[in-house]
């Protein structure tokens, strides 16, 4: 499980948009994984299982914050989802801050799909399994995420 930490941190930072929040999410994920290890079937991929826990915890926390009013507004999944402060230079993407900002403008469902495929390098099949969605839905979410990012970023 220790070997998975770097990848989990990367995924969590991308999801939350911050290293600190990401590490909190990783801690939560690892604790839950240890508590629920009987649900993991040996022979299946441990990394996929951990990513799924992280994704679910991220959405749980987000829903909780939304209910308590911490998050002011959820972006509809099918919206272009561009932040008003998004017009930054392409070079910003070379830094975590820039990458996180670009991702932060996406609805969480698009963000997690894009991260698993583009950053973690998973196949559509593996990513769809983790997110528990059909491949067609995954393909569509990634395409919409890319359309949003294309509007956000200058021509490359």
Asked if residue 106 binds other proteins (CB under 8 A), the reply is no
Q: What tokens were used for 60?
A: 């749980």
Contact flags string 121-150 toward other proteins, x per CB under 8 A:
--xx--------------xx-xxx-xx-xx
Helix (H) or strand (E) holding 12: helix 5-16
Q: How far apart are CA 142 and CA 145, in angstroms?
A: 5
Asked if residue 54 binds other proteins (CB under 8 A), the reply is no
CB atoms within 10 A of CB 56: 14
Q: How far apart are CA 70 and CA 32, in angstroms?
A: 24
Between helix 46-67 and helix 19-35 the angle, nearest 10°, is 120
Helix (H) or strand (E) holding 4: none
Contact flags string 57-86 toward other proteins, x per CB under 8 A:
------------------------------
Nearer to other proteins, 37 or 70 (CB): 37
Contacting positions for other proteins (CB under 8 A): 1-2, 4-7, 9-10, 13-14, 19, 23, 26-27, 30-31, 34, 36-38, 40, 42, 46, 90, 93-96, 98-100, 102-103, 115, 117-119, 123-124, 139-140, 142-144, 146-147, 149-150, 153, 155-156
């Amino acid at each position: 499980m220790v070997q998975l930490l770097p990848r989990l941190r990367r995924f969590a930072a991308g999801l939350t948009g911050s290293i600190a929040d990401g590490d909190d999410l990783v801690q939560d994920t690892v604790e839950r994984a240890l508590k629920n290890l009987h649900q993991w079937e040996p022979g299946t991929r441990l990394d996929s299982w951990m990513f799924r826990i992280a994704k679910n915890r991220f959405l749980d926390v987000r829903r909780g914050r939304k209910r308590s009013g911490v998050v002011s507004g959820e972006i509809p999944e099918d919206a272009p989802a561009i932040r008003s402060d998004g017009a930054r230079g392409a070079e910003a993407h070379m830094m975590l801050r820039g990458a996180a900002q670009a991702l932060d403008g996406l609805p969480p469902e698009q963000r997690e799909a894009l991260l698993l495929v583009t950053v973690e390098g998973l196949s559509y099949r593996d990513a769809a399994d983790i997110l528990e969605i059909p491949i067609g839905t995954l393909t569509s979410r990634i395409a919409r995420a890319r359309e949003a990012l294309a509007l956000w970023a200058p021509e490359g």
